Amino acid sequence: MKRSKSSNAWLREHVNDHYVQQAQKDNYRARAAYKLLEIDEKDKLFKQGAWVADLGAAPGSWSQVAKQKVGEAGRVFALDMLPMDPIRGVEFIQGDFREDAVLAQFTKLLDGRLVDLAICDIAPNITGMAVTDQARSFYLCELALDFCRDYLKPGGNFLVKTFQGSGYTEYMQQMRDTFQTVLSRKPAASRDRSTEIYLLGKGKKP
């Protein structure tokens, strides 16, 4: 099948991308690892021994970073509807975290404890229709925030990818209702043309 001009341009950009090349050298599964690393360098997300939930984890680059940061004493739980190749020390549940059966598996692994940090780099399947894609993205963000209300400990932190545009202001308010402090971050590895912005909720309210 012949590629379109736009897909050829994307492929050239991807192959020549500094972060793509660096990810290959560092054995990260995706360039997104560097977004998380940069935010962690600034905001000190991870602590040795912490318990972390990675929502929408596949292909696994954020889980790779999380496990490196929390060490052997920490635990990383990765959840995604898509399959994900195993990562040493990461406990993966394949399924939709909206479903009771998936949450029951997760609850069993927690054994009465709540997580210290939730991270979410999830994005919907893109339709190409901006209004639809924006609405679906914030729906997933809202689900992730609901997850935090149930499974993130008081005082815990939450990092989530959002997109500027319709729904952003309302979601920011939901974050402020849930966390003591809400910060926005645009890491260098995030492409300039992208409207993505990461929100960090610090100190979940009791």
DSSP for 53-122 reads EEET-TT-HHHHHHHHHHTTTSEEEEEESS-----TTEEEEES-TTSHHHHHHHHHHHTT--EEEEEE--
Q: What is the mean pLDDT of residues 150-172?
A: 95
pLDDT at 36: 98
**Does any domain span residue 26?**
no
Task: Please give the mean pLDDT across all residues of the chain.
Answer: 90
Per the CB < 8 A criterion, the answer to whether 53 and 147 are in contact is yes
At residue 80 the predicted structure's pLDDT band, cuts being 50, 70 and 90, is very high
Q: How far is CA 178 from the centre of its chain?
A: 18
CATH of the domain at 50: 3.40.50.150
pTM above 0.75, yes or no: yes
Range of the domain at 137: 32-204
Residue 134, pLDDT > 90, answer no
Structure-token pair, residue 107? 């609850």
Residue 10, pLDDT > 50, answer no
Question: Is 26 labeled as ligand-binding?
Answer: no
pLDDT at 176: 98
Q: What is the mean pLDDT of residues 37-50?
A: 98
15-19, 49-53, 74-78, 187-191: the lowest-pLDDT one: 15-19
Question: Is 62 labeled as ligand-binding?
Answer: yes
**How far lies 105's CA from each of 21, 48, 55, 92, in Å?**
36, 24, 14, 10
Residues with catalytic function: 161
Give the closest residue to 145 by CA, choosing from 108, 182, 112. Answer: 182
Give the closest residue to 122 by CA, choosing from 162, 86, 150, 164. Answer: 162
Q: Between residues 63 and 135, which one has the greater pLDDT? A: 63
In the chain, % of residues over pLDDT 70: 88
Q: Token pair 């040493």 is at which residue?
A: 88
Residue 5, pLDDT > 60, answer no
pLDDT at 11: 44
Per the CB < 8 A criterion, the answer to whether 148 and 158 are in contact is yes
Residue 116, pLDDT > 70, answer yes
Domains held by the chain: number: 1
**Does any domain span residue 56?**
yes
Q: What is the mean pLDDT of residues 67-75?
A: 98
**Does any domain span residue 6?**
no
Per the CB < 8 A criterion, the answer to whether 150 and 118 are in contact is no
Q: Between residues 147 and 15, which one has the greater pLDDT? A: 147
CA distance 108 to 154: 20
End-to-end CA distance of the chain: 55
Question: Is 17 labeled as ligand-binding?
Answer: no
**Does any domain span residue 20?**
no
**Does any domain span residue 97?**
yes
CA distance 2 to 86: 34
